[in-house]
Structure 1
Amino acid sequence: MAQRVPSTDLLQRIAALEAQVATLRRTGWERDELPLWPTNFTAMAFGDSTAFSTLWEGVMSPRTASLSLGLTLVGDQVSGTNTGGAWQVLFNGLVVWSGTVLPTFTVQYASTVLDLLPYRADSQLLVEIQTRRTAGASTGGRGGNGGSIGLSPRFARLL
């Protein structure tokens, strides 16, 4: 079996180490996507309830340090009345990120990086994305209960 004699030249050894570090840095940029599943049958999940309801969810084993999450949100308009609302992201039933949907009938984008370190010992982590209607029409609209809040994840990357 052939044996390799390590180089004694310092510059060659430094060059080899730099190449190895560059390779490690490139592999550190690889990201895994967390699949999130809609809880209804539409392409973009809509909710018209005044209580929080889950529109997207996924279960994972948290083996990374953080979750980079991006959302797309939009209100509704019923007979000239704009609908606003609120949304929240939950880990195992606890709210870890939340915000509002402005009653302006415009698309909004939200993104953040959520810390997964407190959940690393858990074998399963339930990730839920919920929304509710807080302002707008009370009748008509998509489901008949007034305006709807549309919510869709743009990305969910495990870092």
Structure 2
Amino acid sequence: MPQRVRDVSFPARLARLEEEVAQLRRSGAERDELPLYPTAFTALAFSDATAFTTLWETTFAPRTAGLSIGLTLVGDQVASVNTGGAWQLLLNGAVVWSGSVVANYTVQSATTVLDLLPYRGTQEVLLQIQTRRTAGATTGGRNGNGGSIGLSPRYARML
């Protein structure tokens, strides 16, 4: 098999490097998608509990410095009474991001980038997304306990 001698001249190395950079730009930046698994059997997990209940979770090894995550949230309406609530995201049991679901029966979006540097030394991190109902009807609804809070992750990418 013939051997090829590499050209070590600076202009040839620069041309090769420029071609590799152009190739990387054309292919785009790759990101790791982090799968999240529902703890219920529906596509948009709902909870009518008044205590925080885990709707989505996963375990992962933190290989990067950040986790970009986006959520979709919606309240409920039972007998013309709107349901509001709260949600929180936990890493290894500690709340790292939280917010509220307004009681006006509209879809909301929330996005953030979580800092994973404090978790880089650990083998495995448990990520949980929880919701609870804080306002609204107390009877009727999906399960008879009042309005529900719906939550679904839109994306979770390791950056």
Q: CA RMSD in A?
A: 1.7
Q: Once the two structures are aligned, what percentage of the paired residues are identical?
A: 66
Q: Report the counterpart of residue 60 of structure 1 in structure 2.
A: 60
Runs of 4+ more than 3 Å apart? 21-28
Question: 1:142 and 2:142 equivalent?
Answer: yes
Query: What's the CA shift string for 1:96-153, capped at 9, x where partnerless?
Result: 1111101010001111111111111111100000000111111111111111000000
Q: CA-to-partner distance for each residue in 1:69-120, whole Å, 9 max, x for gaps? A: 1111000001000000010110000111111101010001111111111111
Q: Residues of 2 paired with 1:112 and 1:15: CA distance? A: 39
The yes-or-no answer on 1:40 pairing with 2:40 is yes
- Note the residue ranges of structure 2 that are not aligned, 5 or more in a row: none
TM-score by length of 2: 0.92
Is 1:2 aligned to residue 27 of structure 2? no
Aligned to 1:106: 106
- Structure 2 counterpart of 1:4, one-letter code: V
Match of residue 130 from structure 1 = 130
Q: Equivalent residues in 2 for 1:8-87 (5 A)?
A: 8=9, 10-24=10-24, 29-87=29-87
How many residue pairs were aligned?
158
Which amino acid in the other structure matches residue 57 of structure 2?
A: E
Q: For 2:80 and 2:125, how far apart are their aligned partners in 1? A: 41
Q: TM-score, normalised by structure 1?
A: 0.92
